[in-house]
Amino acid sequence: MNHSSAVATWLMVLVMVGLNTAGDMTTARAMRRVGDFSEVRRKSGVLGVTIAVLTEPWFYLGLLAMTLSFFAMLAALSFIDLSVVIPASASLTFLLDLFGCQFFLKEHVSRRRWLSGILVLGGIILLRT
Amino acid sequence: MTELDKTTFARQHVHSMSFLRYFLLAVIILGSTFGDVYIAKGMKQIGVVTVSRWRDLLFAPLHFYVALGVVMLMMFYISYLASLSWADLSYIMPATTLGYVLTALMAHFMLGEHVSLTRWIGIIMISFGVGFITGGPSLTVTPTPEGVSPHLEIHR
């Protein structure tokens, strides 16, 4: 891999990690604001759930980030070294998401979840490299 | 079952999963795994997308395998949205990585590909991690004098 293709590969990894994490955070926040689907469906039906999701601004931010991430992946699939891009972006996104859950979404990331997260992260790195 | 200590106001975990919700977790795993496989297959058939062939990227979702992959990813996305409405992202996220294990196992048992010792260790680590987290509580709530926030629906 020459210098410019290495730069392109890592730039693409950073773009994908940023978009994936942004998508996960904003989508999770949107669904937390909408509330439990089962409960919303019981009160106002499937249409009520659909309207609740479609009128949630965070949902569109998540959708935008995920759409951009999808096209970035399509572009990456065709021109860079996937054996580097996929494991690197999957593991970095996973790590960044865990911090995002704790500090952005204010979830209670317990010791059990951190331990599970570290096991899974290690597993992704071993499995995908 | 709810394991909630209402004597404190710190964020706590509760169980919010049911059989249907575990089933939706499986749809997330299968949808994302097969979605990625079909999209990769479609993009390989389309070929290298360069700047001068940007239209190929724009029209890629119309290719049969890419379209099939997109349908699978839509199933994944709807299940993912529903799951995030009743469980934490830090609970859902590790569970979805079982897709990596599924891909490796399919490659080994269906395609006869060699799986190295390192990868088997990776598979075991992910499986333990996922088992450990999915066996635990799934939702963070904050107890308030009026109840808990977000409002908790109890599933048995």
Distance of alpha carbon B4 from alpha carbon B18, whole angstroms: 18
**Which residue is closest to B152 within chain A, CA to CA?**
A36
ipTM tops the 0.90 cut: no
pLDDT at position B121 is 92
N-term to C-term CA, chain A: 16
**Model confidence over B67-82: pLDDT tens digits?**
999 999 899 999 999 9
**Burial class (CB within 10 angstroms; exposed 0-12, middle 13-18, buried 19+) of B92:** buried
| Tens digits of residue pLDDT in A61-114 | 999 998 898 788 777 766 666 666 777 788 888 889 999 998 999 888 888 888
Taking contacts as CB-CB distances below 8 angstroms, the residues of chain A near B123 are 123, 127
Nearest-10 Cα torsion for A12, A15, A16, A18? 160
DSSP character at residue A107? -
Tokens of A125: 């790195």
pLDDT tens string B90-131: 888 888 888 888 888 877 887 777 888 998 999 899 988 888
Question: Is the Cβ–Cβ distance between B56 and B49 less than 8 Å?
Answer: yes
pTM (two decimals): 0.78
Chain B residues whose beta carbon lies within 8 Å of the beta carbon of residue A27: 80-81, 84
Nearest CB among B88, B118, B130 relative to A126 is that of B118
Give the closest of A25, A108, A122 to B12, CB-based: A108
